[in-house]
């Protein structure tokens, strides 16, 4: 009977250890996923800023082209 109780306690301890490790692993994984999401958001903001500046340059170049065409027609 003593051996069965010991075996039960060992199994409970083992289950507790595995549960703790699983929870810690999930928390670490969740943190890594959040960090990766923040990095993606930062890169997206940088890309948006670059695209906006490129669009402004393209608009300016287009306007210069239109002005040049108007000047040559005069």
Measured between alpha carbons, how far is 24 from 18 in angstroms, rounded to an integer? 10
pTM over 0.75: no
Euclidean distance between the first and the last CA atom of the chain, given in angstroms as a whole number: 109
DSSP conformation letters of 28-66:
HHHHHHHHHHHHHHHHHHHHHHHHHHHHHHHHHHHHHHH
Sign of the Cα torsion 29, 33, 34, 39 reads positive
Residue 49 and residue 59: Cα distance in Å, rounded?
15
Q: State yes or no: pLDDT of 73 exceeds 90.
A: no
**What confidence tens digit (pLDDT) does each residue in 3-51 have?**
999 999 999 999 999 999 999 999 999 999 999 999 999 999 999 999 9
């Amino acid at each position: 009977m003593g051996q069965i109780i010991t075996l039960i306690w060992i199994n409970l301890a083992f289950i507790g250890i595995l549960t703790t490790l699983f929870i810690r692993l999930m928390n670490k994984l969740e943190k890594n996923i959040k960090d990766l999401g923040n990095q993606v958001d930062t890169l997206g903001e940088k890309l948006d800023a670059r695209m906006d500046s490129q669009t402004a340059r393209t608009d300016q170049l287009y306007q210069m082209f239109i002005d040049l065409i108007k000047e040559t027609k005069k």
